[in-house]
Amino acid sequence: MDHSKTSKNDAKKVFRQLGTCSRTFFYLLNREFGHTKESEERAADSLAGGILQKGHQCGMLWGSALAVGAEAYRKCDDLDQAIGVAIIATQHVMASFLDMGNTINCRDITHCDFSSKWSFAKYFFSGRFLYCFKMAEKWAPEAIQSAIDGLADKNTVLPPRSLSCASEVVKRMGASDEEMVMVAGFAGGLGLSANACGALSAAIWINSLTWNKEHPKKSSFFNPSAKRTLNAFNIATDSEMLCHKICGRRFNTIDDHSEFIKNGGCDKLINVLAQT
C-alpha cells in the first residue's frame, strides 16, 4: 500500500491500513528517515502484541527499534559504532514511550490476554483497541523526535566494541551487517531494559523476513517460522521470557552487555535460536 502522499500526522490512518503497531512504527520512522523497507516492515508483524501477542514490550517499540537500527547503519561507517548507536537510540525511544504511558508492556496497555478468546473479544468489542490507535497518533511525533535525538546523542561514551545479543543471533543465522544493526537495539531485553528477550525477538524477526520473501502477499503475523522459534526458545529457557532472569543479571551500560556477550554470556541460547 502506497503511503507516500499521506501527511506526516497520519499515524492512526497508517495503523489502520497496515494492521499492526510494530509494522506501523517501523514504517513511520523509516518514512521520516527517507528509506521505507517493505519486506522488513512486514516481517515486524510478528512482534505485534508484545512478541507474537504474548503481551510483552509493545510492538510500537520493537518497530521503532528496527527503524533506528536501520538509520544507525546508514549513519555510521563502523559496524561496532552502529550497534552502539542503535542501542542508545532505542533507549531514547523507550524513555519517550515510558513518559507517555508509564509502562512499556502490551498487556498493561491493552488489558488483554490475546491467548484468551474471551479476553480478546472483550478487548475488541469494548473498544479498548481504539486506545492503541489513539496512543499511536499521540506518540508518533515524540517517537520520531526521540529517535532523532538518540541517533545524535554524543553524551554516551561507547565501548571500543559494542555487542548486542540480538545482533549476534541474527549474524549466526546468516544476516547481513545491516540486519545485524537493525536488531541491535533489542539487546538486553530491548534497550538493556531487562524485559522480554531481545535475542528471541531478533530471531523471530529474521525468520519472519525469510518467510515473507517466500510468501510476499501474506502477513508474517502468525507465520510458522516464528512459532517454531518461540517453541525452541521456550524449551531452552523453560518458558522464561525475561532477560534479567535468563541472564541472572541486569546491564547498566552497553559496555556491561558487550563484555557479557564477549565472554560467552547466553551463548547456548543464542545457538539454539540461531538453529531455528
Domain containing 91 equals 19-274
Place of cell 512482534: 47
What is the per-residue pLDDT across 157-190, written as a single tens digit (0 to 9) for each?
Answer: 898 899 999 999 999 999 999 999 999 999 999 9
70 located within any domain: yes
* 50-78: average pLDDT: 96
3-state secondary structure 148-177: HHHHCCCCCCCCCCCCCHHHHHHHHCCCCH
200 located within any domain: yes
**Region of residue 123 (left: phi > 0; alpha: psi -120 to 50; beta: else):** alpha
10 located within any domain: no
2 located within any domain: no
95 located within any domain: yes
Cell numbers linked to 255? 559496555
pLDDT at 5 over 70: no
Place of cell 545457538: 271
* Dihedral sign from CA coordinates of 244, 48, 144, 209: positive
**CB neighbour list of residue 83: distance below 8 Å, 6 or more residues apart:** 72, 162, 163, 164, 167, 180, 181, 184
Within a 10 A sphere around the Cβ of 119, how many other Cβ atoms? Answer: 15
Helix, strand, coil proportions of the chain in percent (round to 5)?
A: 65, 0, 35
Q: What's the pLDDT at 248? A: 96
Place of cell 501527511: 7
Encode burial over 192-209: b for 16+ CB neighbours within 10 A, e otherwise. bbbbbbbbbbbbbbbbbb
Q: How many domains does the chain have?
A: 1
CA proximity to 199, closest of 176, 180, 214? 180
Query: Which pLDDT band holds residue 55 (cuts at 50, 70, 90)?
Result: very high
11 located within any domain: no
92 located within any domain: yes
pLDDT at 226 over 80: yes
106 in Cβ contact with 55 (< 8 Å) = yes
Q: Determine the number of helices (DSSP H) and then strands (DSSP E) in the chain.
A: 15, 0
5 located within any domain: no
What is the per-residue pLDDT across 239-269, written as a single tens digit (0 to 9) for each?
Answer: 999 999 999 999 999 999 999 999 999 999 9
Counting Cβ atoms within 10 Å, is residue 128 exposed (0-12), middle (13-18) or buried (19+)? middle
